[in-house]
Amino acid sequence: MKLTRIVAVLLLLPFSGWAGTFIETFNDDDLEDWQELVQQDEKPGSWEVIDRELHAVSPDEWPRLLTIGNKKWRNYTIEVDVKPIEKHGRASIMIAARIKGTRLVFCEIGDRLVPGWDTLCRTGDFHTNTSVLLSAGQHPLLKLGDWSTLKLGVKDGTFVFSINDEKIAETADDFALVLAGRALVEGKVGRLNDFLTGGAGFGLANYTAKFDNLIITGEDIPNKGTLPVVSRGKLATTWGHLKRF
C-alpha cells in the first residue's frame, strides 16, 4: 500500500502543472527542517528514524506534533501512513494543517478526549489547548500493527478529513464562519486570510507508532522527494535537537 500510493502521486505529478508535491519517506536521517509542537510546557516526544521509518513515542495524554512547511502555504492536501505499535492509555493520532506559530487546524482519531467521539476536528491554539470544535464523529480506532492512511485537505474555507480513503468529516461554510468569528475576537477583521495559511504536520498522544510516506500536494508546495532506487540498510538515528515553539 505504501509504495503504491507514492508511485501513483509521482505518475500524476507531471499532469498537475500548477501543483507541487512534497514527499518525505524518511529514507535518510535528515530531520533538520522539522519542528516539534507541544502543548503547554510539556516535555518533547521521541522521534527516531529507524529502517527508513519514523518511530514516534508520546508517553502521556499530551499530544506532540511534528511539523514542516511555510506559513504562507494555503490550499493543499497532506496525507501520511501510520502504524500504531502500542497504546499507553487514552490516546489519539493526529494530522494537522494551516500551522502558523501555535495556531492550526487538526483532526484526530482516538479515545483521548470525549467518550463516544472517536474522531474530532478542531481549530485553535495548540500550545494553550484552546480550540473550537469543527466536527465530531465515530470511527473504529486504528488497529495496532496495521498501516493506515490519514489525509487532511484544506482549500479556502473548506477542509476534508479521511481515513483509508473514507471521508470522516467535511466542513465548508461552518469552518469559514468559525475563522471569521475568531478573526473578529482577535481584532483581525478583514484579515481572515491570516487563518487560511500555514504548514502541515502529524502527531500522537499516548501512543508508540511508526509514520511513513508523508505526501503534501498543493499550489504553494515545493517539489521535493523521490522513491529510493536501491534499498539500503542504515543505523537508527535519534533527533536529539528538536526545535521547539
- The predicted model scores a pTM of 0.82
Cα(245)–Cα(243) distance, rounded to whole angstroms?
7
Mean pLDDT of 155-159: 87
Q: What is the tens place of the pLDDT at every residue in 193-245?
A: 567 899 999 999 999 999 999 999 998 899 987 644 443 333 333 344 344 44
Q: What is the tens place of the pLDDT at every residue in 29-50?
A: 778 889 999 987 889 999 999 9
**Per-residue cell: 13:** 505529478
Q: Which residue has the cell 495559511?
A: 197
pLDDT for residue 216:
96
Q: How many CA atoms lie within 13 A of 128 on its CB side?
A: 8
**Per-residue cell: 112:** 483521548
Q: What is the tens place of the pLDDT at every residue in 46-89?
A: 999 999 999 999 999 999 999 999 889 999 999 999 999 999 99
pLDDT for residue 28:
79
Angle at Cα 201 formed by Cα 137 and Cα 185, nearest 5°? 70
User: Checking DSSP bridges between strand 130-137 and strand 119-125, what pairing results, if any?
Assistant: antiparallel
Angle at Cα 213 formed by Cα 208 and Cα 80, nearest 5°? 65
pLDDT for residue 220:
85
pLDDT for residue 231:
38
- In 3D, which of 71, 75, 121 has the Cα closest to residue 99? 71
pLDDT for residue 189:
47
Q: Which residue has the cell 503504491?
A: 4
